[in-house]
Structure 1
Amino acid sequence: MGCRRHRGIHRCQDAGLAGRQGRGTGLRRRGVTAVRKFAVREGELSGSSLSPEAAAQADAGVSHNLNGQRLGRKGRVTRERILSATVELLESDDGEPISLSAVARRASLGMSSLYNYFGDLTELLLAVLEPVMATAEDAYLSKLRERWPEEELGERCLDFVSSYHRFWARHSRLLHLRNSMADQRDRRMMQHRVQSSQPIIALIVTQMDGANDVRPSPATSMATMLMTGIERSVTIATDRQLPEIMGWEASYDEFRFLEPGARLMEIAIRDVRDRTRS
């Protein structure tokens, strides 16, 4: 890890970190065909994970640079240029590690210019994550807000798990990078990872007819375990390097965890609902 001092502040980058990142009964009857129907919709797993518009959105709420200077037109253009370069680097297939120096090169800026806008790699990636996570409501959270009828529970669980998988597939490298940095004990990335899961857990608890309060409960524990398993299976499914590492290229099917995940979700929700009623 290389560190530098800039304006009295240590700036550290892990240049290699991102380079390692990548690239019910009714359910049983429907099988793989149903899984693929829910998992793949036209164009949703292809194309870019982020857009120039997303970079602009990440820039919209910022009024000053890190030196306290108000951003004028030129400053906003430069900041958006940095964000766009980060997006391009995340989407590239050349395997170049994500680092501040790589972003600066792609944006044709010096490191001192970049440090006017982002103090470190975490701060930059959090800015890119902001507009991505703003799409979570439409992508998968909204599916949990309406109570699922008992007779539709299996199908609704599959729809949710498939939607969550599509979100991860669309933003795979960025989300894998966040999780890797969180695993390296980056506190801000740890907080982001936890905070992005909390709304899902709370809504699953509501689906279980549990009370969402600060005290631990069987519903909260079950929802937390369930979401931990679903997220882990999706991270494995969307890891672009794992099939090569494990020698699975010929037989790998990234959708194979969707039906088991949905089935476990259905069982968990039914179980807690039954216990709540009894």
Structure 2
Amino acid sequence: MTAKASIAADGPSEPKGRGRATKALSHNLNGQRLGRKGRDTRERILAATNELLAGPVDVEISLSAVARQASLGMTSLYNYFSDLTELLLAVLEPVMATAEADYVGLLRTRWSEEELGEKALAFVTAYHGFWVKHSRLLHLRNNMADRQNERMMLHRVHAAQPVMRLLVDQMDGGSEEAGSPVFSMGTALMTGLERVVTVTTDMALQNILHSPHPLARTHLLRAEARLMELGIRDYRAMLRDTRA
């Protein structure tokens, strides 16, 4: 079973209140304030989830599997997480907190024309490295989003938005409105980037395609970086001419 096929339906997938994850840090789902034991139990559940994510890809990621890994009963686990989505969102929270240092920050300084190709490749490589570190978790999120899990869809979009906004800034389109051609280009570049790293970090797909060779991944990353470079150059020139 692949990572994508190992998602189990452990409860409802309808959207929940966005404040629940924050509340869970101080209260369980029964509204009881978490003491030291409760906080330790919650951290134990998160640690067990991370252990499963780091393990063999044919091991199912489900609430029942997490409960077994944490040596807890399902009733105890449901005191902290109502379904698999809520649990994975809690695991994603500290992961996404590292995005700024791992790759987003590379976009915050305007890339000069002379170093545009080099900077684009460095950014694409860093984004790929982030996916390598958290591959199974990010693949699970995207697979659940593709299955119309609204909370995972929102997480995926919110994670991409800072990159799209900063790509627009790199194209000198900071004052442009959302929905404009430059915003569409930023969206297209981010969509292509995510798709490339999804393919290059999906080992099951690589094995099916008989192309697990690292050099093939390098070529794809360089191709994506080149497209990013050309897109930024093109829109810088276009906007410069428009504003002249």
User: TM-score per shorter chain, which class?
Assistant: 0.7 to 0.9
Q: Which residue matches 2:102? A: 139
Secondary structure, aligned partner of 2:53 = helix
Code of the residue aligned with 2:68 in structure 1: it is: R
1:198 aligns with 2:161: yes
1:260 aligns with 2:227: no
- Please give the root-mean-square deviation of Cα atoms over the aligned residues, in Å: 2.2
Which residue of the other structure, out of 20, 23, 29, is the alignment partner of 2:5? 20
TM-aligned CA deviation for residue 247 of structure 1: 2.8
Secondary structure, aligned partner of 2:203 = coil
Code of the residue aligned with 2:34 in structure 1: it is: L
Could you tell me how far apart the structure 1 residues matched to 2:94 and 2:32 are? 24
Measured at CA, do residues 137 and 74 of structure 1 come closer, stay the same or move farther in structure 2, by a change above 3 Å?
same
Which residue of the other structure, out of 152, 163, 167, is the alignment partner of 1:189? 152
- Larger mean CA deviation between 238-247 and 206-215 belongs to 206-215
Measured at CA, do residues 171 and 160 of structure 1 come closer, stay the same or move farther in structure 2, by a change above 3 Å?
same
CA contact (8 A) 2:3 2:140 kept: yes
Which residue of the other structure, out of 3, 20, 26, is the alignment partner of 1:63? 26
Q: Which residue matches 1:162? A: 125
CA contact (8 A) 1:202 1:212 kept: no
Which residue of the other structure, out of 188, 192, 196, is the alignment partner of 1:229? 192
1:117 aligns with 2:80: yes
TM-aligned CA deviation for residue 61 of structure 1: 7.4
TM-aligned CA deviation for residue 217 of structure 1: 1.1
Which residue of the other structure, out of 108, 111, 117, is the alignment partner of 1:148? 111
Deviation digits for residues 12-49 of structure 1 (CA, Å, limit 9, x no counterpart)? xxxx8956269xxxxxxxxxxxxxxxxxxxxxxxxxxx
Length, aligned pairs only = 228
Q: Which residue matches 1:172? A: 135
TM-aligned CA deviation for residue 105 of structure 1: 0.4
Q: How does 1:44-83 map to 2 (within 5 A)?
A: 62-83=25-46
Secondary structure, aligned partner of 1:253 = helix
Code of the residue aligned with 2:135 in structure 1: it is: S
TM-aligned CA deviation for residue 252 of structure 1: 6.8
Q: Which residue matches 1:277? A: 240
Measured at CA, do residues 21 and 163 of structure 1 come closer, stay the same or move farther in structure 2, by a change above 3 Å?
farther
Could you tell me how far apart the structure 1 residues matched to 2:194 and 2:4 are? 22
Code of the residue aligned with 1:181 in structure 2: it is: M
Measured at CA, do residues 18 and 69 of structure 1 come closer, stay the same or move farther in structure 2, by a change above 3 Å?
farther
TM-score norm. by structure 2 comes to 0.88
CA contact (8 A) 2:199 2:206 kept: no
Code of the residue aligned with 2:5 in structure 1: it is: R
Measured at CA, do residues 97 and 120 of structure 1 come closer, stay the same or move farther in structure 2, by a change above 3 Å?
same
